[in-house]
Structure 1
Amino acid sequence: MTTPLLLGLIGLALAQPVPALLARMEWPYRAPRAAVVLWQALALAAILAMVGAGLSASLWLVVHEGAPNPAPDAWRVALHVAFMALTLVVVLRTAWSMIVVAIEVRAVRRRHRTLVDLVASRDAAGRSVRILDAPEPLAYCLPGMDARVVLSRGTLASLEPSELEAVLAHERAHLRARHDLVLDAFTALHRAFPRVLRSDAALDSTRVLVELLADDHARRASGTTPLARALVKIGTQPAPAGTLGATTTLVRRIERLEEDGKGRREAAACYLTAALVVLGPTISLAVPWMSSAWATLS
């Protein structure tokens, strides 16, 4: 019974307290790409641990002294069926959440894209750029196969050419790297967990990290000063639902622009931790249990 208990505790820890603790740490934000991998590893390891706990517990209930029990008690059979059902629910809930989020987000973006094409004008800066006739500073992108970068008249009026180029580079970095797929996956995993186990830390932190990744590209393309000035000028308006915007997490993003470090040590720590989180329970608990289960059933 040790394996299911340990896997269950690991799954619960990775679902809530560990993400909450990691979200309060500053060092992962110095290596955003590696930090995204770390968050993905935590989510994957949590689901694998939950599934492994259910499977190992269900097998333990019908095995006696290292061999299948030919006549298990009724309560063992009932618990065995219950654990198998719960394991199946975890898998199906995760898959269903992925499908539902993909459908919902795609519909929201399609409606917003249609609306933007109706009310906005094309811009000479690019075929996919649309200009809204609004005085408020807005800048965001609509990802997908038919992507759009949306700016407002207020943004064009308030930015210098170099600053506008930095904003466009930021939004195009989102589209080129398909950061929307990363956020959609975390949104689905967030919904897949029951409310009592659900933590906003992974989704919120990933939203920050993809903005930092796009900032890195914009800084390389246009320079740090134009990007920082652009963030200050347009960094107050939230982006619409289903879009990726350059106006969130303003304080953290500007503070990071002031840092000169490359974050190599932080990146190495993130990758190492991600590998340990996924491979540690697998090698130390799952593989020995699978070997023992195979020997028992064969």
Structure 2
Amino acid sequence: MNGFVPNVATPVVLAGLALVLAGPAPAWLARAHWPRRVPRAALVLWQALALAALLAALGAGLSVATLAVLEERPNAGVLVLYGAALAVTLTVLARLLWSAHTLGYSLRARRRRHRELIDILGRIDGRAPGAHVLDASPAFAYCVPGVHTRLVVSSSALETLTDDEIRAVLEHERAHARARHDLVLEGFAALRNAFPRLVRSRAAFDSVAALVELLADDAARRRAGALPLGRALTRLAGTPVPAEALGAGGVSALARIQRLAEPPAPSYRVLATATYVAATALVVVPTLTVAAPWLSQLSAYLP
């Protein structure tokens, strides 16, 4: 076997890491209050956490498969165990790819139909430049994201909000569209849907949804001011938003209003830097310390 010695510790370490990153770590991060101080860095940390958990889970299954193939004299029980581990890994990967495909296809179809309805029913109003106005009684504002984004406000919102507040709301929605926050949320939704209902958790998705709203709030505050945005969110809090859209009055509106009412926060450069370093370490450290030696040993064995 060209001196190759299967390393049983590799799949054990990777599997344990996957369990920690998929269970306790997201639960702790979702309960923490500091991410709202550095929402952009916290969003990167959530993405790194999800990526590291997925890579660890897939690496655990694939490393188990190499043990079965390269072991000198595997018995039937070992082969069954290794085969089951590989089957679970492939199942998780297949469910993830299928979830991403079905969710993406469904969302894009619903958004396309929504945009078509907006183009038919909406009208232009000078008080909401770049937006489509729908004649409706609830006061709402949202964007239908995509390559051809639609900004939508209701006629009731135009009657309720001042010009400064309308501008703040539209800047919030434009921030969503520019940053393509819909793709970030779509990725976490696909990851959540890939797991069985019994072990499925909304912690990551809900936390990321709150963070993208904070990022849009920060962008709107820079362009239109905190006071008009806070007043607008107060009037729009709790208003319905279509599932395929991103709305200013949607996720955690009350908490965001309280954040806007606080005095300007000091620079959290140290916290942001530490968060970025932690996000990088989540992906790089397991790769260098666990996966890389296994891959190096395996490449030396292969012709």
Please tell me the TM-score bracket, short chain as reference.
over 0.9
Aligned to 1:105: 107
Residue 84 of structure 1 aligns with which residue?
86
State the Cα distance separating 1:33 from its structure 2 match.
1.1
Distance, in Å, in 2 between the alignment partners of 1:37 and 1:78 is: 39
Give the match's secondary structure for 2:90. helix
Cα distance in 2 for residues equivalent to 1:195 and 1:294: 38
1:21 aligns with 2:33: no
Q: Is the 8 A contact 2:127 2:158 kept in 1?
A: no
Is the Cα contact below 8 Å between 2:142 and 2:241 reproduced in 1?
yes
Amino acid at match of 2:140: L
Preserved contact between residue 147 and residue 175 of structure 1 (Cα < 8 Å): yes
Pair 1:253-2:256 in alignment: yes
Gaps of 5+ in 2: 1-7
> What residue in structure 2 maps to residue 46 of structure 1?
53
Which letter maps to 2:290?
L
Instruction: Report the Cα distance in structure 2 between the residues aligned to 1:105 and 1:9, rounded to whole angstroms.
Output: 34
In 1, Cα distance between the equivalents of 2:268 and 2:156? 35
Mapped to 1, the partners of 2:33 and 2:272 lie a distance apart of: 13
Tell me, what secondary structure is at the counterpart of 2:197?
coil
Pairwise CA RMSD: 1.7
Give SS of 1:175's match: helix
Whole-Å Cα distance in 2 between the matches of residues 160 and 36 of structure 1?
Answer: 32
C-alpha spacing 1:274/1:235, structure 2 compared with 1 (3 Å): same
The whole-number CA distance in structure 2 between the counterparts of 1:28 and 1:157 is 35
Cα shift at 1:86: 2.3
Counterpart amino acid of residue 153 in structure 2 = L
Please state whether the residue corresponding to 1:121 is helix, strand or coil: coil
Q: CA deviation at 1:105?
A: 0.5
Alignment of 1:151-166 (within 5 A): 151-166=153-168
Per-residue deviation, 1:43: 0.6
Partners of 1:197 and 1:37 in 2: CA distance: 24
Structure 1 counterpart SS, 2:124: strand
Per-residue deviation, residues 63-91 of structure 1 (Å, max 9, x unmatched): 44xxxx2x432233333333332222222
Which of 37, 57, 65 pairs up with 2:44? 37
2:287 pairs, out of 271, 276, 282, with 282
Q: Does 1:8 align with 2:15?
A: yes
Is 1:197 aligned with 2:199? yes
Shift of 1:177: 1.3
Q: Could you tell me which of 143, 148, 151 is aligned with 2:150?
A: 148
* Residue 59 (structure 2) pairs with residue 56 (structure 1): no
Q: CA deviation at 1:247?
A: 0.6
Identity, % of aligned positions? 49
Tell me by how many angstroms 1:126 deviates. 6.1
In the other structure, the counterpart of 1:171 is 173
> Secondary structure of 1:240's partner?
coil
TM-score (norm 2): 0.91
Structure 1 unpaired stretches of 5+: none
Q: Show the counterpart of 2:3.
A: none
- The code of the aligned residue for 1:270 comes to T
Measure, in 2, the Cα distance between the counterparts of 1:251 and 1:265.
28
1:127 Cα deviation after fit = 6.7
Counterpart contact for 2:142–2:153, Cα < 8 Å: yes
| Consecutive aligned runs of 4 or more in structure 1 exceeding 6 Å deviation | none
Match of 1:267 in 2: 272
After TM superposition, the score normalised by the length of structure 1 is 0.92
Higher mean C-alpha deviation, range 280-289 or range 192-201: 192-201
1:228 offset after TM fit, Å? Answer: 0.9
